[in-house]
Amino acid sequence: MSSTDNNDELPAIHINIPRRYYLLPGAAVLTGISIGLFRGSRTASLRFLAENAHRPPKTVRGWYLYNKTKNYRVLLGGLKEAGADATKLGLTAAAWVALEEGCASLGLDDFREVAAGLGTGTLLGVVCMSILYGSHCLSAMQQS
């Protein structure tokens, strides 16, 4: 049996994902990683210096271990902050794209950028206010 006899094969399924769906959140994640690495490592470095300023090392081995520990703490702090910032910016960009495409599918092509901006801003405002209001209520409950 030759390959030309087997014409019953189904065509392959192709999924076309618009580039905007993954480029905007991907760029936001990379931006969040770079910002988080910079800010987190700087914060961890200053924190380590503040925590250990009262007991500086006295020997060469002590300085070696001090710098080694500091480097590991700086790396860990930078990676933690990078993950947090990348998640925040990536989810924000994904929400933007989802709202923009939702407006486009509803036929609001002229206003989709404005609606996506307003929707994302409203969503972030609600999240921020719930965090602030939740902490305010929690502190009021603790004082009672």
pLDDT digits (tens, 9 = 90+) for 78-131: 999 999 999 999 999 998 998 888 888 888 888 888 888 888 898 888 888 888
82 burial level (CB within 10 Å; 0-12, 13-18, 19+): buried
Sequence spans of domains, the chain? 18-143
The angle, 0 to 180 degrees and rounded to 10, between the axes of the packed helices 112-143 and 60-105 is 130
Instruction: Give the predicted TM-score (pTM) of the model.
Output: 0.72
User: Which two structure tokens, joined as six digits, stand for 26?
Assistant: 């991907």
